Amino acid sequence: MKLFGYPEFDENGVRTLCTYDNEYSHMLMDVRIYRIPAGEKRSFCREGEEIAALLQKGKIILSAGDLSMEASRKDVFTELPYAAHVCTGDTITIEALEDAEVLVQCTHNDKTFPPKLYEPKDIPWIYSGAKGKFGNTANRQVNTVFDYEHEPWSNMVLGEVMNDRGNWSGYLPHSHPQPECYYFLFDRPEGFGASFVGDQVFKSVDGSFSAIPGGELHPQSAAPGFLMYTCWMIRHLDGKPWLQTDRCEDERYTWLHDAAIVNQPEFH
What's the CATH number where 74 sits?
2.60.120.10
- Average of pLDDT values for 256-266? 72
pLDDT score, position 155? 98
Q: Indicate the SS3 state at residue 49.
A: strand
pLDDT score, position 202? 98
CA distance 38 to 199: 43
pLDDT score, position 201? 98
pLDDT score, position 58? 98
Q: Residue 230: pLDDT above 70?
A: yes
Nearest partner of 62 among 39, 87, 89, 93, judged by Cα: 93
| From 102-116, 145-159, 253-267, the region with the lowest mean pLDDT | 253-267
Nearest partner of 46 among 88, 85, 104, 107, judged by Cα: 88
Averaged pLDDT of the chain? 95
Domain assignment present for residue 257? The answer is no
Domain assignment present for residue 259? The answer is no
Q: Cα torsion at 97, 102, 105, 110 (round to 10°)?
A: 0
Q: Residue 266: pLDDT above 90?
A: no
Domain assignment present for residue 260? The answer is no
Which of the four pLDDT bands, split at 50, 70 and 90, describes residue 265?
low
Structural domain of residue 83, as residue ranges? Answer: 4-250
Domain assignment present for residue 213? The answer is yes
Q: Residue 134: pLDDT above 90?
A: no
Environment class of 51 (CB within 10 Å of its CB; exposed 0-12, middle 13-18, buried 19+): buried
Domains identified in the chain, total number: 1
- Average of pLDDT values for 50-68? 97
Q: Residue 264: pLDDT above 90?
A: no
CA distance 15 to 31: 9
Residue 233 DSSP code: E
pTM of the model: 0.95
pLDDT score, position 33? 98
Domain assignment present for residue 60? The answer is yes
Q: Give, in degrees to the nearest 5, the angle at Cα 69 between 63 and 75.
A: 95
Which of the four pLDDT bands, split at 50, 70 and 90, describes residue 9?
very high
Domain assignment present for residue 52? The answer is yes
Q: Residue 267: pLDDT above 70?
A: no
Domain assignment present for residue 268? The answer is no
Q: Report how far apart, in Å, the C-alpha atoms of 257 and of each of 82, 140, 162, 208, 251 are.
A: 35, 16, 22, 31, 11
- Average of pLDDT values for 178-204? 97
Domain assignment present for residue 30? The answer is yes
Q: Residue 132: pLDDT above 90?
A: no
